[in-house]
Structures are given as C-alpha cells and as structure tokens.
C-alpha cells in the first residue's frame, strides 16, 4: 500500500471463494429393478464443505436419507426420487434430474411338467454280443 507517508507491504493473504455445491454426477434417470432388490441411487457434488444431502420420494422428504447415496431397501413400489444438495452458501445451482424408479415383479420359476405321466412304465433292454474266444 502506498500513500503520502510512504509504502508498506503486507504479509501474503490467501483468499478463499466459497460457492454453492455443484452436482457433477448422478444416477441414471430411468431405473428399473425387480421387486425385492435394493438399488442404490447416487449423486456426486463438489463445493465448500460440509455438503448436505436430502433425498425425497414423490416430493416427500425421506427421514434420515442424508448421504450422497440412498439405498431403496427391498423395493416393492416405484416412484420419483430427488436429492437436494446444499452447503452453508446455499443450494446447488445445477439441477438434479429426478430419478424414476420402476419396480417390476421378480421372475418366478415355473415347474417343468414331467415328460411322462406317472402311470407310464419304461423298460429298457440292452443286448450285447460277447466276443467269441477259442480256448486251447
């Protein structure tokens, strides 16, 4: 700094700029799973720490779903999941695209019908010709 009285040099100052979090990656927006499975939804954000996550289902906050990942335990019904991402500066300025989860019935094994009814008897006869040997 310089004025009429002279010049003074201050010590080095580090300047930190803080901003709202930015979402870098997220889960696919159309997820289909079998009933009874447990899919995990993810979001990756960068910004000033701590970053706070809050997952919602169909517009309603999911209690205790406050991590960058959310596992839908034993999925039975689908819905639209969103995640708000905030820090002390504010909310993310990049959009989190809603994830539509569709749950389809789990495949079931069908019994294979027997090829013969229990009343059918099967008889197999095998014939074998023995080689002849000359005994001396």
Task: Name all domains of the chain by residue range, CATH numbers in brackets.
Answer: 19-104 (2.60.40.10)
Of 73, 75, 97, the C-alpha closest to 85 is: 97
Sheet holding 40-46, edge to edge: 22-26, 40-46, 69-71
Element (H, E) at 7: strand 6-7
pLDDT above 90 as % of the chain: 57
pTM, two decimal places: 0.68
Quickly state the pLDDT bin for 110 (edges 50, 70, 90).
confident
More confident residue, 110 or 68: 68
Residue 130 has pLDDT above 60, yes or no: no
Q: Pick the range with the lowest mean pLDDT from 20-29, 51-60, 91-100, 124-133.
A: 124-133
Mean pLDDT of the chain: 85
């Amino acid at each position: 700094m310089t004025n009429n009285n002279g010049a003074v040099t201050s010590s080095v100052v580090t300047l930190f700029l803080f901003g709202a979090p930015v979402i870098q990656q997220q889960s696919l927006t159309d997820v289909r799973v079998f009933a009874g499975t447990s899919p995990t939804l993810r979001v990756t954000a960068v910004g000033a720490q701590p970053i706070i996550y809050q997952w919602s289902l169909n517009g309603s906050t999911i209690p205790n779903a406050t991590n960058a990942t959310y596992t839908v335990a034993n999925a039975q019904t689908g819905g639209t999941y969103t995640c708000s991402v905030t820090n002390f500066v504010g909310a993310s300025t990049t959009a989190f695209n809603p994830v539509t989860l569709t749950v389809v019935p789990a495949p079931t094994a069908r019994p294979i019908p027997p090829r013969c009814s229990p009343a059918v008897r099967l008889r197999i006869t095998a014939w074998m010709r023995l080689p002849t040997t000359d005994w001396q």
